[in-house]
Structure 1
Amino acid sequence: MRDPDFGRLFAATALGQLGDRIIFLALPLVAVVTLNADEFQVGSLTAMTTAGSLLVGLPAGAWVDRMRKRSVMISTDLARAVALLTIPVAWWSGLLTIWWLFTVALVHGVLTVFFDVAYVSYLPHLVGRDNLVEGNSKLSAIRSVTSISGPGMAGPLVGLLGAPATLLVSSAGMAMSGLLATGIRKREHKPVPSARPQLLRDIKQGLKFVLKHPVLRATVLGDAIFNLFLVMYQTMLLVFLEREMGLGAFGIGLVLSGMGCGALLGALSATRVSQRVGQGPVIWLAPLVTCPLTALMPFARPGWSVCAAAIGLAGLSLGGVVRVVAQSSFQQALTPDHLLGRMSATARFVSWGGIPLGGVLGGASGSVFGATATLWIGATGMTLSFLPNFLSPLRTIRALPNEKDPVLAP
């Protein structure tokens, strides 16, 4: 935190994530409340938000590896700010439709893919490989703080201004994040292009590296299962809380802020827990211990039981952050510098590729079986996501390795 450049990245992350957390609540509420969307449309909106991982997930890594990561982060932040700004403008003009939301969600999602690939690839350059766990922990901590404050701010703002106008705050957060990142002074060397750059060859190289590596393959497959069922769960969670529990925007914001509290606790304890449990075992133990707690939500009824269910969601967030900090550090440590972008993009493509499907399945399941049954399905699937990591070398690896470790060679 004494490093000025890391401090600027930390502050930019805080503002960008604050805007993103507000989107998480406000965008579906624009559909549910303002446009009176049905369950399938809400699920489709979630799918559009995450479809970028399927559309550009693999090429993004190859492209980012040819560019300065800092420049990619700045330009995508500013572009996302402009895209979000169109929603309140369209609302005030009387032009806002569900198709407008789908379009903005898709554009925002594609830009987010490029931002996230560059972000993950930039951290080893900025802090050095010896500081990856600490750097990831600090950035996870600020993301967790915004997970608390974002929904906590979004609930009252939606109640006061309406969901479309609340997205102005998200747009401002993204823009300020991009402007702060321009102050980072440490520059990367511009990647030297190959004599005959070939996009398909570069994509294949990234895919081969990740899918043949026993540890990287296990982490992305575990993530893919977890994310598929998490999105099914989240898609119907807002519908369940708003329509079956009778919570308004403020109450939903409090529940989501509780998840942020769990994430903050996870970020603050991630390094200590990983050291005590082991860097590898913590990756599969975290979902096995915390995901079953999400089954408390479909048990809930209006009243005090919602508070108990919210504690279960906080436990999910705690375990998720502990896992992601350890997992991200493994992925970065095991990847050579010239493959960081492609590793990140491939991991995101495999891990997030099922998210649009999860949104559609969540909406379809909610329409056929109801929101409560869909929450049960999501809780079961998230718990089973521990299996790929448990059945890999991560079961016994206690220390963070490096890309030259012969035991973990692909």
Structure 2
Amino acid sequence: MSVRERGGLLRSRDFRLLWTGETTSVLGSSIAVVALPLVAVVTLQASTFAVGLLTAAAWLPWLLIGLPAGAWVDRWPKQPIMLACNTFSMVVFLSVPVAAWFGLLTMTQLLVVALAGGVAKVFFNVAYRAYLPSLVDKEQLQEANEKLQGSESAAQIGGPGLAGLLAQGFGAVTGVLADAVSFGISVLCLRSIRYREPKRPAGTRSRLRDEIREGLAFVVHDRYLRVFALFGAVSNVALMGYQSIEVVFLARDLGVGPGAVGLVLALVGAGGVFGAALSGKLAARIGTARAFVLCEGFGALMMLLGPLANGGWGLAFFVAAGFSLSAGVVGSNVLNATFKQRYVPAAMFGRVTASMSVLSFGAIALGGLLGGILGETAGVRQTLGLMAGLEVVAVFALLFTPIGRCRDFPADVTAAGRPPRRPARPSRRPPATRSGSSPV
């Protein structure tokens, strides 16, 4: 049973807890996004390639376990998965400051922590996106996503600034400690949610590979989801190739200190709040699909200003590019998430989301690795320009797809003119036993 109360979703106790926990966790993660590279660069004197590899390691699990994770999440209650993932992440990230305090921290440990945290993020992300449509009514999804994305963007404003201040005053590893604490707060909030998901109807369970195949087929044969997955992959290569070397560009090429790095990235993140607040109004005026394309196009074009930045007042180019890119990406993410939560059948949401995310999020690992390699060989500023150009090309290609040719996204698969799916064929083997009900 979903919640629905007069006065908006923030009047709902359960949604407030989800919103508070997720916002706190994102604040910690946005601190760690800056703190981990700073630990690598400042404390361990890591190379540009190693910093890019650190980003790639955090997203590599999408390629390794994304598909089975989607099928498993569809089988299990979502809240226990989210609790287990955040508890695991808290312990993993806590190991970094502990090792640093004893003088045992190495680049290998940072890579293992990034990889382990990425594994937890895969499960949490899929479960979280599937959990929200059961917690709120369908017509409240736009409001829910706007509030969640808006507050997450606000947290991302403060996160880099806090990371810089913590690094300046107490050392870079303190930011990683703050991330671990944020996961603990999120666990407390999730445990306090009273809503319990309805049990999945009993029946013969299909084999895992059949369920994975069903999710993949749903995406491959759907003209909208297929475009979202392909566009997301190319766009994420460009965005992460750009973002993975931002700290290196600011700290080494422009000579910006740790505190100022946090401040610059906080100003950049402020664009996300603007984008989340504007997305619903823009969609109501020009249509959901057109608003999505406009958000993406605006961010991509402004991204070209980033490589033009230099020291002093020249940082304004970097801030303007980042602010606009953040606004465009967050605004389009609100519209994209709302569309999928309304469009994809609830029983398949985990598998469909994971199938798309394996391609689009897996590309983030490639983008981080590519950014590190090109930054080391071709130069950091040149790599930023190349990635900005790739993003512009990806958005331009979007205009020639079904998304670029329609005003609004379809409300569901029937409105899209798609025939109902056929259920996966039950396995002839005895049903597998449940292994238990227990994630950026």
TM-score range, shorter chain: over 0.9
CA offset digits 1:330-379 (Å, max 9, x no partner): 11111011011111111211111111111111111011111011000110
Q: CA separation of 1:112/1:193 partners in 2, compared to 1, >3 Å: closer, same or farther?
A: farther
Q: How does 1:6-405 map to 2 (within 5 A)?
A: 6-192=15-201, 194-387=203-396, 389-405=398-414
**Number of residue pairs aligned between Structure 1 and Structure 2:** 410
Matches of 1:57 and 1:388 in 2, distance apart?
Answer: 26
CA offset digits 1:263-286 (Å, max 9, x no partner): 011111111011112101122222
Q: Secondary structure at the match of 2:267?
A: helix
Matches of 2:296 and 2:394 in 1, distance apart?
Answer: 7
Matches of 2:355 and 2:202 in 1, distance apart?
Answer: 20
Contact 1:155/1:249 (<8 A) preserved: yes
Matches of 1:361 and 1:148 in 2, distance apart?
Answer: 26
Larger radius of gyration: 2
Q: Secondary structure at the match of 1:185?
A: coil
Matches of 1:52 and 1:192 in 2, distance apart?
Answer: 30
1:29 is aligned with what amino acid? L
Identity of aligned residues (%): 38
Cα-Cα RMSD: 1.4
Matches of 2:76 and 2:396 in 1, distance apart?
Answer: 36
1:121 is aligned with what amino acid? A
Q: 4+ runs of 1 displaced by more than 6 Å?
A: none
Q: CA separation of 1:194/1:25 partners in 2, compared to 1, >3 Å: closer, same or farther?
A: farther
Matches of 1:193 and 1:210 in 2, distance apart?
Answer: 26
CA offset digits 1:26-50 (Å, max 9, x no partner): 0111111110000111111111011
Q: Secondary structure at the match of 2:198?
A: coil
Matches of 1:159 and 1:193 in 2, distance apart?
Answer: 56
Contact 1:284/1:387 (<8 A) preserved: no
The farther-off stretch of 173-182 and 385-394 is: 385-394
How many Å apart are 1:82 and its aligned residue? 0.5
Contact 1:59/1:199 (<8 A) preserved: yes
Matches of 1:400 and 1:179 in 2, distance apart?
Answer: 37
Contact 1:39/1:363 (<8 A) preserved: yes
Q: Secondary structure at the match of 2:256?
A: coil
1:409 to 405, 418, 421: 418
Matches of 1:46 and 1:325 in 2, distance apart?
Answer: 24
How many Å apart are 1:135 and its aligned residue? 0.9
Contact 1:66/1:193 (<8 A) preserved: no
2:228 is aligned with what amino acid? T
Matches of 1:124 and 1:89 in 2, distance apart?
Answer: 38
**With structure 2 as the length reference, what TM-score do the two structures score?**
0.91
Q: CA separation of 1:26/1:390 partners in 2, compared to 1, >3 Å: closer, same or farther?
A: same
Q: CA separation of 1:306/1:184 partners in 2, compared to 1, >3 Å: closer, same or farther?
A: same
The farther-off stretch of 224-233 and 186-195 is: 186-195
Contact 2:59/2:115 (<8 A) preserved: yes
Contact 1:218/1:388 (<8 A) preserved: no
Q: CA separation of 1:387/1:324 partners in 2, compared to 1, >3 Å: closer, same or farther?
A: same
CA offset digits 1:300-339 (Å, max 9, x no partner): 1111010232111100000111111111111111101101
2:140 is aligned with what amino acid? N
Matches of 1:391 and 1:279 in 2, distance apart?
Answer: 17
Q: CA separation of 1:177/1:157 partners in 2, compared to 1, >3 Å: closer, same or farther?
A: same
Matches of 1:145 and 1:168 in 2, distance apart?
Answer: 20
